[in-house]
Amino acid sequence: MQMMNNLPPGLLLIAGALLVPFLPGRLKNWYVILLPAIAFWHISQLSSTAVLSVQLIDFDLSLLRVDKWSKAFGYIFTLSAFAAFLYGYYERNSTQFCSALIYIGSSLMVVFAGDLITLYIFWELMAISSVYLVLGRKSKKAYKAAYRYVLVHIFGGLVLLAGILLTINQTGSIAFNSFDPAAANLGSWLILAGFLINAAAFPFSSWLPDAYPESTVMGGVILSAYTSKTAVYAMLRGFPGWEVLIVVGCVMAIYGIIYALLENDMRRILSYSIINQVGFMVCAIGIGTTLALNGAVAHAFCHIIYKALLWMSAGAVLYRVGKSKCTDLGGLYNTMPWTLIFGCIGALAISSVPLTSGYVSKTIIIGESASTHMFWVWLVLEVASAGVFLHAGIKFPYFVFFAKDKGLRPPEAPKTMLAAMAFLSFFCIYLGMFPEMLYNILPNPELVKAAMPYTFYDIYFKHFSHVVSQTQLLIFSGLVFFLFLPMLKRTDTIALDVDWFYRKGCTALYILLDKSLNGLNSWANRAIALGVTGKLSNFFKDGPARLCMFVLKPVWELSGSRITGEDGLEERFLSKFRGTFFSIGSTAVFVLFLLLFLYLL
């Protein structure tokens, strides 16, 4: 029992993945649904004194560090996994289940890691396992996107590793604690850069909308929850109060909106929306107050729920129709009404509509930016909040389910998909009306309850003015959408992003290096290997023979023999020399003249 108490939750899923290929039929599906539920229960039973250390060379790896920070992310990671596997009940591919379990388990290992080495090991395992969720689509686009995805994460992992090694070298410790911004050095900056790459911070953001939309239906739901939010957790642990993150977060929040409004593909819209929402969390980490950090945790919790719900809605459409571009969709409300309803609940939650979960979490961050007198930060976040309603709250459901009817009449989503969407929809509404459960699992619940609306009455009656102002903001955002609808209608075009530089730029760099370095190599081969070296080789190969012939030539002339020509003495002598065979007479004469030459010297 004591061993179970000290067992990292992530190991349950990673070890459990090994059994998946051996399970038959539907038992496999129920097994992967049950595993996250067991992990959720296990997390609830962990005490703050639970530890697990492993000796590695001269370091003690801390595989289990339990506190309210890690448990909050552990709860939402396992809750989301349960819903995702219920949603993916249709799936038969064991590789998808194995990679998903290892990916989610690795995320949990990062969350409960107490040292930098453990964090790095499972950070990389996350990247390796998650790529199979993209490859599982088995399309040409998926293969190319997976290739770019791996390259970006290899780069990010190397940056993180360099930072960790420098930090260990400077401090002699592998403990993963917060870094002091006043004592920032190259190591800590590199660690932060590695975290930001996984968080999809600009300009390292385009890997997310490049890869996630090309993933499998179930894979997209799972990918939306873990990599970027694990990075948010890591920054909460390591970089609270680093003001540079305020700027990064604000840029992410606006950048995500702009590209989501430009996009035509529904899953790319939701991908850019992830960047926008993570921007709020990164900004809160940069603000660094206790309330802001708790707001980041709360928003990550709610974001994973409503974002997974939106990806489920989009995935159900893709599963039934096989299309994801808004220009190919429309009129689906006729035959997929439940998918529409659940998708709209997710859209309202991400837009922070009162009575939904997004309202009670995003309010903490925006309110704290105002309380700390950061006017420009508050203004950017308010604008970003209105923009979210434009692209995710209205654009996504409008163009997918309404807009121009394309005559598509697919059947409603499978029942298990609807059950998973209903499960997450319940949390979107319940947490919006009764946030006590959410606030109680935060690191500082009493502070949050004292500062923010707590009960239903507090939220919607004592703070009714804020409800009114938020509603007004959303109404005017909706008005803007429909007034500018002709401009917002999408065409079948591609919006160029930063990934253009490594798509085209890296190709151009490859061609440049190929022509320059390989051209230099070819020239060196011709000039050195085949030229100078070849001539030296020929010299040393035939030089001694020709020296012998020079000595023997007077003798050959005196004898009256034929010297030149095909059957001449020169040709026969060279052929014998190359074959390392000499006649006794020729050798004797050569030795005689050589001894005479040495005697004269």
Quick: pLDDT tens for 375-393. 898 888 888 888 887 777 7
Same domain? 413 vs 517: no
Confidence of residue 506 (pLDDT cuts 50, 70, 90): confident
C-alpha to C-alpha distance for 591 and 493, rounded to whole angstroms: 86
Last residue of a domain, one of 497, 523, 555: 497
Same domain? 325 vs 191: yes
Same domain? 486 vs 545: no
pLDDT at 212: 92
pLDDT at 4: 63
C-alpha to C-alpha distance for 311 and 307, rounded to whole angstroms: 6
pLDDT at 86: 95
Percent of the chain at pLDDT > 70 equals 86
Q: Which two tokens stand for residue 407?
A: 């005559």
Q: Which two tokens stand for residue 445?
A: 């619940």
Same domain? 547 vs 433: no
Closest CA to 399 of 261, 271, 273: 261
Residue 592 domain boundaries: 503-600
Among 96-105, 173-182, 499-508, 554-563, name the one with the lowest average pLDDT: 554-563
Quick: pLDDT tens for 273-300. 999 999 999 999 999 899 999 999 999 9
The secondary structure of residue 490, as a DSSP letter, is -
Give counts: helices (H), strands (E), the chain. Answer: 28, 2
Same domain? 548 vs 486: no
Same domain? 86 vs 201: yes
pTM assigned to the model: 0.83
Last residue of a domain, one of 458, 482, 497: 497
Same domain? 49 vs 153: yes
Among 27-31, 318-322, 529-533, name the one with the lowest average pLDDT: 529-533
Same domain? 242 vs 335: yes
Provide the number of structural domains found in the chain: 2
Same domain? 471 vs 577: no
Same domain? 470 vs 557: no
Whether omega before 203 lies within 30 degrees of 0, making that bond cis, reads yes
Same domain? 213 vs 348: yes
Q: Which two tokens stand for residue 202?
A: 């600009």
Quick: pLDDT tens for 327-352. 888 888 888 999 999 999 999 999 88
User: Cβ-count burial of 289 within 10 angstroms (0-12 exposed, 13-18 middle, 19+ buried)?
Assistant: middle
Question: Mean pLDDT score of the chain, rounded to an integer?
Answer: 85
DSSP E strand boundaries for 474-552: none
pLDDT at 300: 94
Last residue of a domain, one of 497, 513, 544: 497
Average pLDDT of span 456-477? 73
- Asked if residue 231 has pLDDT above 90, the reply is yes
- DSSP codes of every residue in 240-288: TT-THHHHHHHHHHHHHHHHHHH--BHHHHHHHHHHHHHHHHHHHHHH-
Same domain? 384 vs 511: no
